[in-house]
Chains A and B, each alone.
Chain A
Amino acid sequence: MPACLVHALDYTRGLALTARNLCLAEEKRLDLFTLCSSCFGNLSRAKYLLENNRGLRKEVNQILAEVGKEYKGEVEVKHIITMLHDDITPRKLSSFVEKQLDDVKTAAFYGCHMFLPHKYAAFDDPEFPYKLDRLIEATGAESINYENKTNCCIGCGSFFGSVSEEASARLADQIVGSAKKRGVDCIVTTCPFCIMQLELGQLRTERSGGEAYRMPILHYVELLGLALGLDEKSLGLSLRRIDPAPLLEKIRC
């Protein structure tokens, strides 16, 4: 449930919605696991606020009591990137790689809520995050430095406003353009929302007479899937808005 939207309308009730998801995991005695950096950020934020602010926790639990739930604070929040980097480690991961992606040049795109603010999940360096880069390198691929590595895709928070639509279009253009200039084969993200924004942004640029970047945007798990020898069909890569065929061709060679 995207409480990321509701908290814009009511801070405490938005928090209660997120807390309900934490409760569902708690009841099953499981940790919460996400593929999306916004889900991760939002769940980590709720966990942090509820565990560091007794007053807020009381308010939230009063709301949750109306639906027969209580947040106790026993759940861990994990993202596929935190799990792969911290629990499995890039070193171990590289031992499973069947197809070294040696010639593949990538641009890591972190996704704000994965690592900001540092105090919520304390996952990576807030100014110079590096964990996604290490995971990319575990597949044999290269992760380059470029100016928009930690930029915002403008997918979250404001995508309903006409003003931000304009900002979003310009920003996607800037992010993809700067990666293209460095000659990468694809951009690798931690978040499905970033994928959507960066793909749609490219199509918008193209439609309005701008450059046709045709830059494939992959979630890290898709890059990893290719390195583990999974075929592109089972990875669903043929369904993408931007055709990753040139990247796949390079990997096959």
Chain B
Amino acid sequence: MSERVDQGEVDVVTRARNFVTLMLQRAVSEMAVEVCEQCGKCPASCPVSRHIESFNPRHLIAKVSLGRIEELLKSNAIWTCTSCLKCKERCPENISPYDVILILRNLAIRAGYEHPVGYDEFIDTIIEEGVPQQPQRVRTRTGERRDRASFGLPPATSPRDIKKFSEVLRNIVRGSVLV
């Protein structure tokens, strides 16, 4: 397990994992809010909450605390966070709704719940082509996607040894359901 090098700083990854695990256990025995005081600093800081009423990090943390994990894994909410990290910066209890959301996304993937397909496409293209988007396609100023060649542009290059590159990335990502 982790050790605390910086006394004032709690290890966020382990803490988020522990929080979700603990809440999953709690869900079958008792219901209690662990450390979140529901102070409301996170929705007040959240740029998404300001525009999308149904997204509220405080509610999300409360649902985790109440063990309503499955409901969250099925919902759009966990894929709506933009990772601006303001909630993480401002949470007085060091809970970081952002990290809890990441752990929930990981759980949703493992449990086979739906997630935005863009993620897989993006990552597959990087692994196969070495760049995030189809290298021989470009987007025009008006948003239209066209072949580079149609503008007389030379072909875009990928990493020199794309075979080795793909193999290395595939190995690192292996274990998740992506590859």
The chain A residues found within 8 Å of chain B, CB to CB, are: 1-2, 4-11, 13, 16-17, 20, 41, 49, 51-56, 63-64, 66-67, 112-113, 116-119, 126, 151-152, 154-161, 163-164, 166-168, 170-171, 200, 203, 240-241
Contacts and interface: CB of A to CB of B under 8 A. Distances in A.
Given A1-B126, A2-B126, A117-B85, A55 B3 contact: yes
27 contacts: A5-B119, A5-B122, A6-B176, A8-B106, A9-B106, A9-B109, A9-B119, A13-B176, A17-B169, A20-B168, A49-B12, A52-B6, A53-B14, A56-B2, A66-B172, A116-B84, A116-B88, A151-B47, A156-B83, A157-B81, A158-B80, A158-B83, A159-B82, A161-B80, A161-B116, A163-B52, A171-B51
Contacts of A66: 171-172, 174
Given A52-B6, A66-B171, A154 B82 contact: yes
Nearest to B9: A119
A126 B86 CA distance: 9
B175 A10 contact: yes
A161 B85 CA distance: 18
A158 B81 contact: yes
A54 to B, nearest CB: 6
B77 to A, nearest CB: 8
B132 to A, nearest CB: 6
A8 B99 CA distance: 10
Q: Which of B51, B126, B178 has the most CB atoms of chain A within a 10 A radius of its CB? A: B51
A156 B47 CA distance: 12
A53 B88 contact: no
B89 A16 contact: no
B76 A161 contact: yes
Nearest to B116: A160
A49 B168 CA distance: 22
A79 to B, nearest CB: 15
Contacts of A158: 48, 79-83
A197 to B, nearest CB: 10
Given A5-B122, A116-B86, A154 B176 contact: no
A73 B81 CA distance: 30
B52 A55 contact: no
Interface string B108-152: 010000011111001100100000100000000111000000000
B34 interface: no
* Interface SS of chain B: loop
A63 to B, nearest CB: 6
Interface in B48-96: 48, 50-52, 54-55, 76, 79-86, 88-89
A158 B98 CA distance: 12
B105 interface: yes
B173 interface: yes
Given A2-B122, A11-B13, A158-B80, A55 B85 contact: no
B37 interface: no
A9 B173 CA distance: 10
B173 A6 contact: yes
Give 8 nearest A-B pairs by CB, closest first: A160-B118, A157-B83, A160-B116, A152-B84, A10-B176, A116-B85, A152-B47, A112-B84
A203 B144 CA distance: 13
B173 A10 contact: yes
Contacts of B48: 154, 158, 164, 167
Contact of A6 (B13, B86, B88, B123): B123
B24 interface: no
A55 B103 CA distance: 17
